């Protein structure tokens, strides 16, 4: 039995005060909730203080991490630093960090600045697994890839690239998020049966020994209205939630939909 995992990805939102207020209000709403794992990935600048302030079992995590242990890497954050401040998770390879946007809101000429690749995802995943941070590895197809009938091959390639060279015995903490790029921040949720089909396909890409235990989330316009149906599907083990994690009430309802 896989414990469902619901993670709120705040992306680049909230003031410091809003961050604390949201966590406080959310804490009140879920303090008696049992049997589901949940947490937030706030912007880095708030992560340390939120991770040390929580009174109940809310896990906090980073929206990205770097693979090197330390050194001359301006602007980056290591797995050891995440450990040091009590962070639990790191999102790796989010489509927005791969320069793949559901709604393009950046100048096209700047997309290269976001270019996470399967190779950087692999390095970050290895660093997290070695350093005790739970990795949430994102994969997903663009609308053009879906319309060309390439959904499964795109995702299988992303998963193979992420896991390259990692031995099965080390993959235990791995969480995967299936996030169709066209569903992220667009309000267009993927049909639950299709999301389940892709999550099952992803499961089939994993080594046999971890297929039954690895949690695979769905992400992309999850909200209080569609969460229960998505989370009732047999191969969907929770959600990676953007917009609906910004309001405590909405995110609490999404968490409750997984109980
Ligand atoms: P969304 O974002 O819920 O706002 O679509 C999900 C994500 O990007 O993780």
Question: Does residue 19 sit in helix, strand or coil?
Answer: helix
Place of tokens 């705040």: 10
CB 119 within 8 A of CB 200: no
How far is it, in rounded angstroms, from Cα 112 to Cα 95?
13
Q: What is the pLDDT of residue 98?
A: 95
CA 34 to chain centre: 21
- Condensed to tens digits (0 to 9), the pLDDT of residues 53-108 reads 877 889 999 999 999 999 999 999 999 999 999 999 999 999 999 999 888 788 98
pTM: 0.97
Average pLDDT estimate for 169-195:
96
Average pLDDT estimate for 176-189:
95
147 catalytic per annotation: no
Q: What is the pLDDT of residue 113?
A: 86
Q: Please pick, among 94, 116, 141, 145, the residue that the annotation labels catalytic.
A: 94
CB 189 within 8 A of CB 219: no
> Which residues lie below 8 Å from residue 20, measured CB to CB, with a gap of 6+?
49, 50, 53
CB 231 within 8 A of CB 245: no
Mean pLDDT lowest for which of 30-34, 55-59, 137-141, 159-163? 55-59
Q: Is 248's pLDDT higher than 90?
A: yes
- Domain coverage including residue 112: 4-256
Nearest protein CA to atom 7 of ligand 1, as residue: 242
In percent, the amount of the chain with pLDDT more than 70 equals: 100
Average pLDDT estimate for 112-123:
93
Of the candidates 98, 143, 135, the one whose C-alpha atom is nearest the C-alpha of residue 119 is 98
Q: What is the pLDDT of residue 56?
A: 80
Q: Which ligand 1 atom is the nearest neighbour of the CA of 244? A: 3
In percent, the amount of the chain with pLDDT more than 90 equals: 91
Average pLDDT estimate for 104-120:
89
94 catalytic per annotation: yes
Nearest protein CA to atom 3 of ligand 1, as residue: 242
Q: Residue 69 belongs to a domain with what CATH number?
A: 3.20.20.70
Mean pLDDT lowest for which of 10-24, 38-52, 97-111, 242-256? 97-111
Give how many domains the chain has, as a whole number.
1
Give CA torsion, residues 180, 183, 184, 187, to 10 deg: -170
């Amino acid at each position: 039995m896989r414990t469902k995992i619901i993670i709120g990805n705040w992306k680049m939102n909230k003031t410091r005060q809003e961050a604390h207020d949201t966590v406080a209000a959310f804490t009140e709403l879920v303090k008696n909730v049992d049997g589901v794992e949940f947490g937030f990935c706030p912007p880095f600048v708030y992560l340390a203080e939120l991770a040390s302030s929580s009174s109940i079992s809310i896990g906090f995590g980073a929206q990205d991490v770097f693979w090197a242990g330390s050194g001359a890497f301006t602007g980056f954050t290591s797995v050891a630093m995440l450990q040091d401040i009590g962070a639990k998770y790191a999102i790796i390879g989010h489509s927005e960090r791969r320069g793949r946007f559901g709604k393009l809101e950046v100048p096209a000429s700047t997309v290269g600045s976001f270019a996470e690749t399967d190779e950087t995802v692999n390095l970050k995943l290895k660093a997290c697994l070695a350093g005790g941070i739970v990795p949430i590895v994102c994969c997903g197809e663009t609308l053009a890839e879906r319309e060309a009938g390439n959904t499964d091959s795109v995702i299988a390639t992303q998963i193979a690239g992420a896991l390259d060279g990692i031995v099965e015995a080390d993959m235990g903490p791995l969480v995967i998020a299936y996030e169709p790029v066209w569903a992220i921040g667009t309000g267009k949720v993927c049909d639950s049966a299709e999301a389940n089909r892709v999550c099952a396909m992803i499961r089939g890409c994993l080594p046999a020994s971890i297929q039954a235990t690895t949690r695979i989330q769905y992400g992309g316009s999850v909200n209080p209205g569609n969460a229960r149906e998505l989370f009732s599907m047999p191969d969907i083990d929770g959600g990676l939630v953007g917009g609906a994690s910004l309001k405590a009430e909405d995110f609490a309802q999404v968490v409750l939909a997984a109980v």
